[in-house]
Amino acid sequence: MMLAAMAPTVLLLHGFTNTGASWDPVIAALGERYRALAPDIRGHGSASTVRPVTLATVIEDVAGLAPERFTLAGYSQGARIAVHAALALSARVERLVLIGASPGIADPAERAERRAADDRLAGEIEAESIEEFATRWAATPVLASQPAEIRAAAHADRLRSTPRGLAEALRGLGTGVLPSLWERLGELDMPVTLIVGERDEKFRAMAERMGRELPRSELVIVPEAGHAVHLEAPARVAAEIARGDSGAPAH
């Protein structure tokens, strides 16, 4: 108990359609090295009915849950939210760990198109059962190549949410809604670790581009992994979290 009390805190933000439980393998691999917090983001899991679902309220949730100093980690949508939170809480975030991350869509017209597409998808989600949508979401190209056991675990996790909650999360936290942070990456002066799967070509290129904009960053490419590296290689992700900022050079 003494060790747990002294352990540094890592707060883990899950991706769209997941819940905090998706981090369980990483938390298990971390053991007692960290005090791990993995909340359900508004619109997901146990927070499916919590409203409003906005970036501001989610950052408030993070600020209220985390201690004065902490490591912040996120996957996919959770990584995008983590970048916003790190800018808002920069004095408190000691380190940032981003998996399959994007800082948003820089082009206003493209972002507007994405917002319209997300609005349409939100309406479709509300018209389906959670089982139907979970099956459809697993077939998206960025996730379709996951190993069978990973797909099964992710599917079970998605069933913890509701169509209405996920639709609200998409409307409030989707890529088309949140502003682009490409021009603000230089403000992140804490060490940043960018983790990406070797097979995740789109987000590997994104991470390489982000790394050129961040003052203190390192890129970790996990062999044979796809987009959801924390599901496919949880021990590796835990090792990168626990490694601290010693490997994050300034450039």
What CATH number is attached to the domain comprising 19? Answer: 3.40.50.1820
Residue 6 forms part of a structural domain: yes
pLDDT greater than 60 at residue 164: yes
Average pLDDT rounded to a whole number, residues 103-119: 97
Whether 171 is in a domain gets the answer no
What is the model's pLDDT at position 245? 43
- Least confident interval from 24-33, 84-93, 103-112, 135-144: 135-144
pLDDT for 246:
42
Confidence of residue 89 (pLDDT cuts 50, 70, 90): very high
Q: Is residue 219 part of a domain?
A: yes
- Is there a domain that residue 146 lies in? no
238 within domain boundaries: yes
As a whole number, the mean pLDDT across the chain is 94
Question: Can you give the chain as a three-state secondary structure string?
Answer: CHHHHHCCEEEEECCCCCCHHHHHHHHHHHCCCCEEECCCCCCCHHHCCCCCCCHHHHHHHHHHHCCCCEEEEEECHHHHHHHHHHHHCCCCEEEEEEECCCCCCCCHHHHHHHHHHHHHHHHHHHCCCHHHHHHHHHCCCCCCCCCHHHHHHHHHHHCCCCHHHHHHHHHHHCCCCCCCCHHHHHHCCCCEEEEEECCCHHHHHHHHHHHHHCCEEEEEEECCCCCCHHHHCHHHHHHHHHCCCCCCCEC
For the segment 196-219, the average pLDDT, to the nearest whole number, is 97
Domains: count for the chain: 1
* CA distances for 20 relative to 69, 78, 160, angstroms: 20, 10, 10
Structural domain boundaries, residue 43: 2-106+179-242
Sheet holding 192-197, edge to edge: 35-37, 9-13, 70-75, 93-99, 192-197, 217-222
* C-alpha span between 124 and 132 (Å, rounded): 11
**Rg from Cα positions in the chain:** 17
Q: Would the pLDDT of 4 be above 80?
A: no
Each residue's pLDDT tens digit, 210-224: 999 999 999 999 999
Contacts with 157 (C-beta within 8 Å, 6 or more apart), sequence order? 18, 19, 21, 22
**Which pTM value belongs to this model?**
0.94
Q: How confident is the model at residue 71 (pLDDT cuts 50, 70, 90)?
A: very high
The predicted structure's pLDDT at residue 248? 42
Model confidence at 251, pLDDT cuts 50, 70, 90, reads very low
Domain annotation covers residue 112: no
In a domain, 60, yes or no: yes
**Domain membership flag for residue 114:** no
* pLDDT above 90 (res 244): no
Amino acid at 61: D
